[in-house]
Structure 1
Amino acid sequence: MSEHETNLQRPTEPAEPSPTSELPRAEQGWSDAGAVGGATADEPTRVQPAHAHPAQDQPAPGQSAYGQPTSSEQPTAGNPWQSPYAGPPHPPFPGRPFAGAHAPQSGPAPGQPGSFPPPPPYPGVGPMAAWGPPPAPRPGASRAAKLLGAGAVALVLMVGSGVAGGAVALSLADRETTEKTASTSAPAPVINRSSLAEIAAKVQDSVVSIATGSSEGSGVILSADGYILTNNHVVASAGQRAVTVYFSSGKSTRARIVGTDPKTDLAVIKAEGVSNLSPATFGDSDAMQVGDTVLAIGSPLGLQGSVTAGIISAENRTIQTGGSQNPFQPGGGRITISGLLQTDAPINPGNSGGPLVNTKAEVIGINTAIATSGHGQGNIGLGFAIPSNKAKVVAEALRKGEKISHPFIGVSVTRAPSGGALISAVTPNGPAERAGLQTGDIVTRFGDKEINDSDELVAAVQSGKVGDRVQVTYIRDGETRTTTVTLAEAP
C-alpha cells in the first residue's frame, strides 16, 4: 500500500513585526515544505537546537519545490543540526542497568539558540530542491531576535536529548488542521487518571529509544522480530553510521534502516538479533475525538520511558516543516503535512517517533512536532502527531520496500483575501497547467471539499491518490469556472 501526500507550495505573506516576547516558538519532530510546494514569507523559519549538549548553529534548510500546493498559513519547519551525540540516552528506568552507557559530556544548558535566517518564499510546485551548503550562522543572534513574524511559532522536530533536534517556523494564525494514526477499534473508554498507570504499563515495553550518533528519538515496535516505526528525521542523520535501539529492559542492539519517507517524516528500522519483542497495538485514529484522553510515551531529552498525559486538542492540523540540516546528509527540503492530531500532552525533544496512545493502550499517533513560545524550548501544550491510520499504511509499504506515492497538482498558493487559495505560480506542464489553471486564479472547491484557504487545498490534495480526477472550482476575473485536474506523482 502507499501513502498519499500532496505537493503544494505557497508563497509567504509578509508578517507584521511584533515584540518577540509575544511570539510563540515551536520545536518539532518532523516536516517538508508544502503539500502544495510553496513557502510563506510571513512565516520566519525558527530553527532551534533541542538538546542539552552543545549545538552547532545552522541556517534554515533550503526550500522545497514540491508539486503540492503550499500556503502562507502553514507552519514552516526546519531541523537544527546538533553536535555529535555524546552517548546513549539516560537509563530507561530508575534502578535498571543501562547497557553501554557512556559518561555524559559537559555542555551548555538545554535550549541554546541556533541562528537561522528566515526561509525564502516557497518556490513553484515541482521537485524538491536539494539542500545546499548551509550559510554561515549570524553570530550572537538571540532566539527572540529571530522571531520576525507576528504570531510566529517555531516548530521543532522532537529529536532527542540534546543531540539533533528539528526546528520549524510556524504561523498558527488562520490554521485549522490536525490528525492522527493506526488500527480500527471502538471509541476509547472514558477513564480516570488513577487508571492511566495501567495503560502506560501496557505500552511501555513496545516503546524504544533510538540513537544514531548524532541524533536521538523514540520508536514504536511493529513486530516481535524487531521492525520499528519512527520519524524519518530521527534516523536521517545516520548515514553509514550505526543506529542503536534501547529497549525498556535496558538492553540495546544495533539496527539497520529498512526504508524512509521524508515527505511523511516516517521511517522503519530493523533491530538485529532480537525476538519475542512486544509489538504495539495500533488503534483507529479516525475514531479519536477532540477531548479524548491520550498519553505520550518516549524519551524526551534522553529520559527513556517518560509518560505524559493530555487530550486531543484538535484534528486535521496542517504544518510545514523542513528536512534535517544534517551536514553528513545534505539532501532534504520542506514538506507540508496535513491531517495531524494536535495534543496538549507534554511532548519535548526526544519524543519524536514515539507513540500517542488512547485509553485502550492503542497507538493512535506518532509524535512528530511541538510548538514553543517565549525564550524557552519546552512544551507549551501544542504537540502534533501523525495519525496512526496514515502511519500504518506508510510503515507497511516501507517494510515491503514499496514506493510511497505522493500526489501533486503543480501550483504554489497563498490565502486569497476574500477566501480560497490564490494560485501564485503554476508548474510548467504540470497537472494544474494542463487543466487550464493560471496564476491569479482562486480555488474555492476541490472535489467535494470547500476551500477557504491554502492549507485546506494542501490537505485536499494530500488526501487524494495519484491518478484521481478531481473537479476544481475557481474564480478568474470575477467569474466562477470549473475544470478537472488529474493528480500526478510528485517529482
Structure 2
Amino acid sequence: MTDESRPPEGRMPSDFPDPQGRPEFLPADDQAEQSGWRSETASFESGRWGDPSGRPADTASYGSPSYPGPGQARAEETPHNSTRAYESPYFGNSAGAPPYGGDKRPPPPPNALGMGAGWAPPPSGPQGGFGGAPGRRGPGTGVLIVLAVVIALVASGLGSVGTFLLTRSGGSGTDPSYSLGPIPSAATNRAPDSIAGVASRVLPSVVSLEVNASSAEGVSGSGFLIKDGYVVTNNHVVAPAAKGGDIQIMFNNRKTTKGRIVGRDPGSDLAVVKPEETFGTPEITLGNSDQVVVGDPVIAIGSPLGLTGTVTTGIVSSLNRPVIAGDESGTSTEEPAYISAIQTDAAINPGNSGGPLVNGKGEVVGVNSAIATLSRSMSSQGGSIGLGFAIPVNQARRVAEEIITTGKAKRPKIGIVLDKDYKGQGVRISSDPVEGRAPVDANGPAAKAGLKAGDVILEIDGLTLQDGNELIALIRSKAPGSTITVKYQRAGQQRTAKLTVTADDSPAPTPS
C-alpha cells in the first residue's frame, strides 16, 4: 500500500497481514518456579495436606503430635464438642470405622482452590479427578507458527531438489531428449476469394520497372501486364526515359527484360510500355471502376521502395477525389495530370506508382498513382499515411487503347475557359477571353447546351463542385461521346442542361 492510498487515520487490516495472536501465557509450573510459589500439581506431598488455618505445613502433618495417627494419643486432650474438627485422625462414620478402609486419607474438599499460604489444590487426574496424572497442555501459538514455517521451508527445499533432479542432464543445463513436438501439418491452399487467394492470382501479372536516364536520377515503379503483352504504368515513372535512357522490367519470377515506351499521356499520368519478352506471364483482368463504392475492400500490389511483389490491403475511402499529379518544382515542361481519383487507405508508397489496385475478385479497378504525405519537401520522400489515390481503370482502359492504336490519347473537353479568380459556390465560366481564347468555344458542347460566359456551374451528374480542379478532373475521366448533366446558375436562377463530351487530339493550352 502506498502513502497515497493509505487511509487518513488508522491503518487498514491489510497493513497487518499476519494474524495477531493472543498473549502467550507461561504454564503455571513455570510461574511457580519463577515466583517461589508452590506448584499447583504439588497439592499432595508425602502424605501432607494443607492447613486452612495457615499454620506451617510441618505442624499440621498427618500423624504428627498435633494430628496423631490411629492408635496414637494426643499430647493434649480436647473436649468432644470442640470446634477443632480436624483433630480426628480420620473422618469416620458413627461407628468409628474409617469410611475409606485401611489407611486411606480423606478426599479433598470440593472445589479446592488456592486460598492462602500453605494451601494447594488436589492433584488432577486425566479428567481432572483425584489421584490421576497431571493434565497436558497443548503447544502455544508461537510454537505452531514456527512449526508451520519449518514445514513450508522443508517442502520448498524438497520441491527444488526434485525439480533439479528432473531437469538436470549431465550438469550442462541441456536435455538431449527435449522436444517441442512435430510441426503441425496444414495445407497452403487458400480460398479463391480470400486476400491470399486473390494475391496468388494477381501477383504473376505485376511487374517492377527500373528507369535509368543519363540526365536524371533513376526512377522505380510498378506496372501490370494486359492483353498482347503490353504493360500499363504511370507516365511519371517512364518520363525520364522519354529523352534517352532505358527501362528494365522485372517479372514476378525474377526474370528481367528491356522495355520501350509505346506512348504516354501526361494529362492522365498514364503510359504504355512494351517489354521484349514476357516469359509466359499471364495478363491481368480489368474490372469496372464505375461499380466501385465507398467501403469496398481493395488490394494494392507493387514494388514500394524496390520491394517487389508487395501486397497491402485496405478499403475504398472515397470516390471522385480531385488530385493534381505532376512536377511540384515547376521545372517540367509537361502539363500536370488532373485525376478524379479513387481514394484508398491501402498502404501505397514510392515505387507503388503504376501498380494495380484490385477488388475482391482480383479485377483491376484502379492504377495507383499518387499519395498524400505530411512532408512537402522534394528532397525527402514521405511514407504512407493512409491517403493513396488511383486512376479509375475505366479511364486507364480508354487511354491505353488509344495509345496502343494511335500512339497518343485524346483529351475530353466541354469547350469552356474557367475563371480562376472566382471564390464563390461552384465554378464560374470566365466572362472575358483568356489568352485569346473565348470563354465558351463556338459550336462546342457547352455552347450547344446553352451555357454562356459568366454562368456558374454548380453540379456535374449530381456531384456538387467545390472548385475548378474538380471540374477538370471529372471531365478528363469521361470518355469522348459520353453525356453528362450540368446544373448551372445564371442571374440568380438555376438551370439544367445536358451536353456531350468531345475530345481534342492534342492537349489544349488551358485545361477545359
How far did 1:484 drift? 8.3
Matched, 1:257 2:270: no
Alignment size in residue pairs: 296
How far did 1:385 drift? 0.6
Q: 2:426 aligns with which of 420, 445, 461?
A: 420
| TM-score, structure 1 as length reference | 0.53
Instruction: Please give the alpha-carbon distance, in whole angstroms, between the structure 2 residues aligned to 1:481 and 1:325.
Output: 41
Quick one: structure 1 residues 240 and 476, their matched pair in 2 at CA, closer, same or farther if it must change by over 3 Å? same
Instruction: Please give the alpha-carbon distance, in whole angstroms, between the structure 2 residues aligned to 1:410 and 1:419.
Output: 18
Does the Cα contact within 8 Å between 1:358 and 1:364 map onto a contact in 2?
yes
SS in 2 for 1:411: coil
Q: Deviations along 1:49-98, whole A, 9 cap, x unmatched?
A: xxxxxxxxxxxxxxxxxxxxxxxxxxxxxxxxxxxxxxxxxxxxxxxxxx
Q: Deviations along 1:125-144, whole A, 9 cap, x unmatched?
A: xxxxxxxxxxxxxxxxxxxx
How far did 1:204 drift? 1.0
Instruction: Please give the alpha-carbon distance, in whole angstroms, between the structure 1 residues aligned to 2:245 and 2:211.
Output: 7
Q: Which amino acid aligns with 2:230?
A: Y
Instruction: Please give the alpha-carbon distance, in whole angstroms, between the structure 1 residues aligned to 2:370 and 2:400.
Output: 19
Quick one: structure 1 residues 221 and 466, their matched pair in 2 at CA, closer, same or farther if it must change by over 3 Å? closer
Does the Cα contact within 8 Å between 2:296 and 2:316 map onto a contact in 1?
yes
Aligned to 1:406: 411
Matched, 1:371 2:377: no
Matched, 1:432 2:456: no
SS in 2 for 1:237: helix
Quick one: structure 1 residues 365 and 272, their matched pair in 2 at CA, closer, same or farther if it must change by over 3 Å? same
Instruction: Please give the alpha-carbon distance, in whole angstroms, between the structure 1 residues aligned to 2:194 and 2:486.
Output: 49
Quick one: structure 1 residues 226 and 289, their matched pair in 2 at CA, closer, same or farther if it must change by over 3 Å? same
Quick one: structure 1 residues 216 and 484, their matched pair in 2 at CA, closer, same or farther if it must change by over 3 Å? same
Matched, 1:388 2:390: no
Structure 2: gaps spanning 5 or more residues: 1-189, 213-217
**How is 1:31-70 mapped onto 2 (pairs within 5 angstroms)?**
none
Quick one: structure 1 residues 473 and 396, their matched pair in 2 at CA, closer, same or farther if it must change by over 3 Å? closer
Does the Cα contact within 8 Å between 2:264 and 2:408 map onto a contact in 1?
no
How far did 1:366 drift? 0.7
Q: Which amino acid aligns with 1:360?
A: K
Aligned to 1:167: none
How far did 1:423 drift? 3.3
Aligned to 2:349: 348
Instruction: Please give the alpha-carbon distance, in whole angstroms, between the structure 2 residues aligned to 1:308 and 1:468.
Output: 34
SS in 1 for 2:308: coil
Q: Which amino acid aligns with 1:197?
A: A
Q: Which amino acid aligns with 1:292?
A: D
Higher-Rg member (1/2): 2
Q: Deviations along 1:355-399, whole A, 9 cap, x unmatched?
A: 111121222111000101268711010000111222122112222
How far did 1:219 drift? 0.5
Quick one: structure 1 residues 250 and 485, their matched pair in 2 at CA, closer, same or farther if it must change by over 3 Å? closer
Matched, 1:444 2:447: no
How far did 1:474 drift? 4.0
Aligned to 1:335: 337
Does the Cα contact within 8 Å between 1:445 and 1:472 map onto a contact in 2?
yes
How far did 1:273 drift? 3.4
Aligned to 1:208: 207
Q: Which amino acid aligns with 2:233?
A: T
Q: Which amino acid aligns with 2:338?
A: T
SS in 2 for 1:395: helix
Q: Which amino acid aligns with 1:296?
A: A
Structure 1: gaps spanning 5 or more residues: 1-190
Instruction: Please give the alpha-carbon distance, in whole angstroms, between the structure 2 residues aligned to 1:464 and 1:306.
Output: 31
| TM-score, structure 2 as length reference | 0.51
Quick one: structure 1 residues 229 and 324, their matched pair in 2 at CA, closer, same or farther if it must change by over 3 Å? farther
SS in 1 for 2:254: coil
Aligned to 2:277: 273
SS in 2 for 1:372: coil
Q: Deviations along 1:95-120, whole A, 9 cap, x unmatched?
A: xxxxxxxxxxxxxxxxxxxxxxxxxx
Aligned to 1:10: none
Q: Which amino acid aligns with 2:440?
A: A
Q: 1:232 aligns with which of 228, 232, 235?
A: 235
Q: Which amino acid aligns with 2:368?
A: N
Instruction: Please give the alpha-carbon distance, in whole angstroms, between the structure 2 residues aligned to 1:252 and 1:392.
Output: 25
Matched, 1:453 2:491: no
Q: Deviations along 1:190-216, whole A, 9 cap, x unmatched?
A: x99993222212111111110111211
Structure with bigger strand share is 1
- Over the residues paired in the alignment, what is the CA RMSD in angstroms? 3.3
Q: 1:308 aligns with which of 307, 312, 315?
A: 312
Instruction: Please give the alpha-carbon distance, in whole angstroms, between the structure 1 residues aligned to 2:364 and 2:225.
Output: 11
How far did 1:463 drift? 4.7
Higher RCO (C-alpha 8 Å, min separation 6): 1
SS in 2 for 1:378: coil
Does the Cα contact within 8 Å between 2:339 and 2:474 map onto a contact in 1?
no
How far did 1:483 drift? 8.0
Quick one: structure 1 residues 471 and 426, their matched pair in 2 at CA, closer, same or farther if it must change by over 3 Å? farther
Q: 1:293 aligns with which of 270, 292, 297?
A: 297
Quick one: structure 1 residues 274 and 485, their matched pair in 2 at CA, closer, same or farther if it must change by over 3 Å? closer
Does the Cα contact within 8 Å between 2:225 and 2:231 map onto a contact in 1?
yes
Instruction: Please give the alpha-carbon distance, in whole angstroms, between the structure 1 residues aligned to 2:259 and 2:328.
Output: 20
Q: 2:288 aligns with which of 281, 284, 287?
A: 284
